[in-house]
Structures are given as C-alpha cells and as structure tokens.
Amino acid sequence: MFSNFDFDVIQRSWFYLFTTGLKFTLILTFSAMAGGIILGTLLAMMRLSSNKPLSFIATTYVNLIRSIPLVLVIFWFYFLVPFIGAWMIGASEPIQVGAFQSALITFILFEAAYYCEIMRSGIQSIPRGQVFAGYAIGMNYWQMMGNVVLPQAFRNMTPILLTQTIVLFQDVSLVYVLGSVPDFVTSASKIAQRDGRLVEMYLFVAVVYFVLSFGLSTLVKRFQKKIAIIR
C-alpha cells in the first residue's frame, strides 16, 4: 500500500489545507468554544438555581443533548434551522442559513451541555461558606455568582474546559458529512478524490490532528500542574 506513496501531493496541498481547511476548523472550534462556555455557564447556573422550573428546563436540555449522537444533531440543525427560523419570523419560505452559521449553532448548543456539567462541578467545588458570606453582605444570587463563585470556578475548571475544547476540535471534523463546509477533512477529501490519493491525504490529516491534539493535551497537563502548585 505504501510502495507508491506520493509525498508530492502533500507538498502541493499543505498550504491550501492549512490556510483554508485548518483555518476554518480552528475558527469554528474557538467560536463554538466561546459560545458553548457562555451558554453552558448559564445552564449550570440554571441547574443549580432554587427556581424549580429553570432547573428542570436546564436539566432536561442537558440530558437530552447528551443522549443524542452529534452527527445526528448536525443533520437536524443543517436541515431544520432554515424552517425553524422561517417559522419564528413568520416567513413563507425557509430562511437562508449558511453552512458555517448552521454548524456554529449546532456545536454551541451541543457543547454547551458538556460545558454545563463542567461548570456545575466547578461551582459546586466552591466552599458553601463563601456563598453564605456573599449573601450575608447583601449580594443577590447573580452578584454572588459573578463576583465570588464563577471567577474561582473558572480557575478550577480551566484545565477540564481546555480538554473539552480539544475534544470539540476533533468533533468539528464531523461537519465533513455536510459536504459543503470547507473544513480541514472536507478540503483534504476533495484533493484526495481529485488526485486519486486517498491514503496520502487521509494519513496527512490524521498526523496533523494527532500532533495538534497531543501537543495541546501536553500543554493542558502542564498548566494543570502549575495550578495544583499554586493551590
């Protein structure tokens, strides 16, 4: 299989793959991470709220999303978001939603369920005495969360949040199933099919994903050790 391995196809394509495919993948990853952490934090606060309807809604959402395969969620939002958007604004025709916007919405909503559980653990790791102290000096729930609990929770959970982001980076490759998104895997697949070099391109993609994921995982471990020393 490797006797006719063609390094030239990689040499010709790597610049395009990095500046187009990998760039798109990284933009989608970090955009989804930011949105997912924000929504996940709100969901975590809702789950821990004493307001039972809010807690029930957040708990149901998290459990539902975590029970559905990501690839199925990608298909759902890609095909249903235009119709849902048209229904919400009262339009007679499906609204035009780009592949990037659809994928971004999908990953934010999906990853928020996982970031929610991470943040919920971080919030619950803060000693209850600090919470009671916040209430004692006149803070309300949101002030206490924003000024006392969340800053410490984010610090404690940063390594786990980064680890989940690495998983998100790998999961973004699933947008390949849409075919119209110029992510790293899709870009490499088009070149592989055009030149008839599937082994070379898919092996190159695997190596790039391994190097980036392993390198980031190593950095996260070092960061986690530094936090442990500071504590």
pLDDT (tens digit per residue) in 112-167: 999 999 998 888 888 888 878 888 888 887 788 888 888 888 888 888 899 999 99
Give 10-230's CATH code, choosing from 1.10.3720.10, 2.40.30.10, 1.25.40.80, 3.40.50.800: 1.10.3720.10
In angstroms, rounded to a whole number, what is the distance separating the alpha carbons of residues 225 and 231?
A: 10
pLDDT at 2: 59
Name the residue type at position 26.
L
pLDDT at 157: 87
pLDDT at 124: 86
Domain ranges of the chain: 10-230
Global pTM value:
0.85
Residues of the chain with pLDDT under 50: none
Coarse DSSP helix, strand, coil percentages of the chain, rounded to the nearest 5 percent: 85, 0, 15
> What secondary structure letter does DSSP report for 66?
T
* Whole-angstrom Cα Rg for the chain: 21
User: Which of 137, 136, 134 has its CA nearest to residue 147?
Assistant: 134
In angstroms, rounded to a whole number, what is the distance separating the alpha carbons of residues 104 and 102?
A: 5
Placement of tokens 């009671």 in the chain: 132
